[in-house]
Amino acid sequence: TLDLIDISLVDFFRLMAEEGGINIVMDPGIKGTLSIKVVKVPWDQIFDAALVNNGLDKQVEGNLVRIARKATLQDEAKQREALKKANLLAADVETRIKRLNYTKAATIEKTLKEQQTVRGTVDIDERTNSLVLTDIPSALDKVIALIESLDIPQPQVEIEARIVSATRDFARD
């Protein structure tokens, strides 16, 4: 039960952290006040309502809750994605040759191209029924695993027949 008038958001979230027994870190850009009157409402529900009401969001990492503006968290997510993409483009490429035993290389080429990164290539050597794969090592491992699961023999059925020839003399013998 709370009855608060014009309490600063920083003080409110400190109160919620104390009440809920959680660790919080607040972005320095959090400003504003909050007025709230609730009776018999769980602290976490009040916490989430205050976040939504003020355009804030939380990021939980282990036992630490980070509170920041939604735009700040979205910008950080975009920066992490851009860094991941830059690391991918900066990684060294590797070339591996995978010989196929049961499948024709041309039939699985399209499937493999969809599994590669932007730096990956698939070339076909029809003479040896092999694939020349170039990509970063982690992507190559996934493509090789996919090839091994696709390059399997077709199920076959063995039919055996015996022809017996019988004449009238056969029964007498």
Cβ pair 70, 57 in contact under 8 A:
yes
Token match 């976040």: residue?
51
End-to-end CA distance of the chain: 107
Cβ pair 134, 104 in contact under 8 A:
no
Mean pLDDT of 29-56: 90
pLDDT tens string 147-171 = 999 888 888 888 888 887 777 776 6
pLDDT at 25 over 90: yes
Residue 114 tokens, joined:
């969809």
Mean pLDDT of 72-89: 86
- The H or E element containing residue 131 is strand 130-135
pLDDT tens string 99-113 = 999 888 888 888 888
Residue 83 tokens, joined:
């860094």
Q: Helix 43-53 and helix 9-20: axis angle, to 10°? A: 160
Distant-in-sequence, close-in-space partners of 152: CB < 8 Å, separation ≥ 6: 102, 103
pLDDT at 36 over 70: yes
Q: Which amino acid is at 35?
A: S
CA–CA dist 111, 126 (Å, integer): 17
Task: Give φ, ψ of 131 to 5 degrees.
Answer: -115, 135
pLDDT at 90 over 80: no
- The H or E element containing residue 19 is helix 9-20
For all residues of the chain together, what is the average pLDDT? 87
